[in-house]
Amino acid sequence: MRPSPPLFAMLVLAAARPWCEPHPDAAATCVDLQLQTCSDASYNQTTFPTLLEHRSRVAVESSSEYILLSVLHHLLEGQCNPDLRLLGCAVLVPRCEGGRVRRPCRHVCEALRDACQPAFDAIDMAWPYFLDCGHYFVGQEEGCYNPLEKLRGGLDIVEEAPPSGYPPTFLRFTHHSYAQMVRVLKQTAARCTHIAKTYSIGRSFDGRELLVIEFSSLPGQHELMEPEVKLIGNIHGNEVAGREMLIYLAQYLCSEYLLGSARIQRLLNTTRIHLLPSMNPDGYEVAAAEGAGYNGWTSGRQNAQSLDLNRNFPDLTSEYYRLASARSTRSGHIAIPQHYWWGKVAPETKAVMKWMRTIPFVLSASLHGGDLVVSYPFDFSKHPEEEKMFSPTPDETMFKLLAKAYADVHPMMMDRSENRCGGNFLKRGSIINGADWYSFTGGMSDFNYLHSNCFEITVELGCVKFPPEEALYTIWQHNKEPLLNFVEMPQMVTTGDCCPQGPTSSSLKPLATPRSSRKSPSLPG
């Protein structure tokens, strides 16, 4: 929805009006930076007049440039946040040090402009004139600074060493804040540089990096016939056990590889594994504020836009049912309908879809909380009016095999007590077709399968969504072997070790065939 006419006119003016030449870098009087929007900038003093000739804080706050900077976050639906805001602050309230103005770096502006241009194109908006990289930014030879340098504030601080007498492989079974999670993942990658690296797939609506750690014999490279596997936690911010399990798994894989574990070395030499511990770090912050042990079903579940990320993916299942009713044999690489982009699409959802387009994943698991069961597609009923209806994919046999690979080695999922968490799934072997449990549309698992042929299961790790710290060690012990068994499945399917009769023709092809040549339709933004 466009802003109201008067506001829209101001935004157009701020985005497109001709620039004024910036004043030369002369002596300046530094004053405290008191602009709320720029309170997290990497400096605390500015000067007036500014590069845009605003002569006071009041003049800045009433300017069209400031108004645009304040609403860009929402216009772009969280894309490029907070990078754009900090870049704008560097121009609106320039950095002042020792009586001199310091200019932001041109290369930082140019890189961000290139990265954010698709987001501006998606709303038919020009790059704002006051962020013109050639006029308000300078080269490194002129002593520029990086206005985005504080984005990682505190994230590179070294984690304290293990307690005296404990080995470096020691795991702390504790809840990790966002900063702690990032530090642990980066330190783990630093310990195992030859098999691990971290990378970001984008940012959350509130600007937190969606950080992934990958493990393989050649980090950063896709190898022919090497299966690509991803594990995702914390898609619902208040379901935190999966987040912690993936943080522990990253440390475990690194340590066991260094200790010479034949199993882990074989796994990482034959499979490329990507771990995204938190897909919804903003929601986690809301849930964590309630405290560990809180088992609320709504607080922190959604992202900062109040969107349920596991209902935010394109509904391709309805299209599949339509094609099936027309006797079409197509069940993979279904295109994203254009009308999907007319609604609210979270930046976290876009980031994961782009990630899937970039890497040819064949296997995936999403870790949740609230019950104890493994579900698999389809999650949306073939008769939408039915809330519960068995709705299998053409690869039902393979999906059951993958679900059982997790459930069959999980001690609590195999526990025979009907009073245990998830007792109503006991007779099913603790696995279930998603739509036969409850039907919903816009789920990540259905989208993975129908858009990119990636087989994704959903693992409910327990009935307590935010377990207390004292329960984390036990949860890890219950899930360590299932996680390893699951990520080993691509190689087991290929060799036939997974199946008493050997792999079927339908099970061999999806998990063993490289998809590096496959192409998906481009995604806006």
**362 in helix, strand or coil?**
strand
Q: Are 363 and 487 in contact (CB under 8 A)?
A: yes
Nearest C-alpha neighbor of 469 from the set 237, 235, 277, 293: 293
Q: Are 158 and 187 in contact (CB under 8 A)?
A: yes
| Token code pair at residue 459 | 């693992």
Q: Are 414 and 481 in contact (CB under 8 A)?
A: no
Element (H, E) at 253: helix 241-258
Dist. CA 279–CA 231, nearest whole Å: 10
Measured CA distances, 353 to 360, 361, 380, 522 (Å): 12, 12, 19, 10
Q: Which contacts of 400-403 are long-range, i.e. CB under 8 A and separated by 24 or more positions?
A: 400/376, 400/431, 401/489, 401/493, 401/498, 401/499, 401/507, 402/363, 402/376, 402/455, 402/457, 402/486, 402/489, 403/374, 403/375, 403/376, 403/431, 403/457
Q: Give catalytic status of residue 460 as yes or no.
A: yes
Dist. CA 148–CA 193, nearest whole Å: 26
Dist. CA 32–CA 27, nearest whole Å: 16
Q: Which member of 77, 209, 244, 460 is catalytic?
A: 460
* Residue found by looking up tokens 């699409």 in the block: 345
**116 in helix, strand or coil?**
helix
Active-site residues, by number, are 460
